[in-house]
Structure 1
Amino acid sequence: MFYPACIEWSDTHSLVNIRIPDIPGAIAAANTFEDALLAAQEIAQLMLQANHSLGLSVPPPTSIHAHRARPEYAGMSWSMLDIDLSNYFADGMHTPHEVVSRIVDGATPMRAWREYLQLSEEEVARRLGVSLVVYAAHEANPDSVYYIREKVGKALGLPAEELEWWFKEDDVAE
């Protein structure tokens, strides 16, 4: 999943600080950008593991635009950091309540996750390298094939299994 990462250079450019605001405590510093980036990914994983052990859900990423509006991030550089969340959506990790609610209300799993992650259809289509029309058709199709779910899952930073239906309409009591 892609999270906004705030990049702050020291006055002499000899130290770089990377903060992932949506993952509390995910702050790393190093002498080079590459080292800081690796450290930020590692600390993000550690913070997510700690949250998971406490039974907390994975926080969704907020848009860079929303972060830039906050005074503490004024004038800072931004990037998107790909954080592997596959360990947190398998083997008993629960899908966030907001996603389940959207699905129960009639959204396909792809749409529910996209909205939860605060991504536009245009952004997901761009990540997939397809037109908006093509992506919208797949998102609306409750029976999309596995390889489509796998590609969309990768674009959203999720395992394909999170984009499957958990129940059939016949299973739902009226």
Structure 2
Amino acid sequence: MQAERMQFTRRGILGAGAGLCAAAAAWPVRAGSVAKGDFPVSHSEREWREMLTEAEYHVLREAGTERAFTSPLNDEKRRGVFHCAGCDNRVYTSVTKFESGTGWPSFYAPVMGAVGTMKDDSLLMSRTEVHCARCGSHLGHVFDDGPPPTGKRHCINGVALTFRPVPKA
């Protein structure tokens, strides 16, 4: 039998990545995976639980992942700014948003200085986790398969964001 040659395409690779992320969403949450340190905005765990919905708390404070294609922000096309749902920090703008096909809002760059990153070796793989630079909340992950000009794909949980459209003139 002759082995068929595998074809690697951008869509196929992104689809595989989306499948891995979707599988990851079903795995148990890593304890203590939210960025640690001194952040301008901080609250006790009790205060975070009181201010956030259950889904927001799971993603922002426990580094959980929402299911793919469940966030209305994935389909948001208006001009505007995406803010951290934990502290209202401006983290991404609609100018850098693009359709990745992965099921999560994707951006090729954050607002300058708005996010931090750290190594994430959970789920038997090495990734780069993205967190809010103002409150340390988990937002998602960044990958090296995005479009120009950065080549980055910030794959962000919609529940970690709030959106404010730019008022029409």
User: Is TM > 0.5 for Structure 1 vs Structure 2?
Assistant: no
> What is the TM-score of this pair, normalised by structure 1?
0.23
- Structure with greater Cα Rg: 1
Q: Which has the higher strand share?
A: 2
Q: Which has the higher helix share?
A: 1
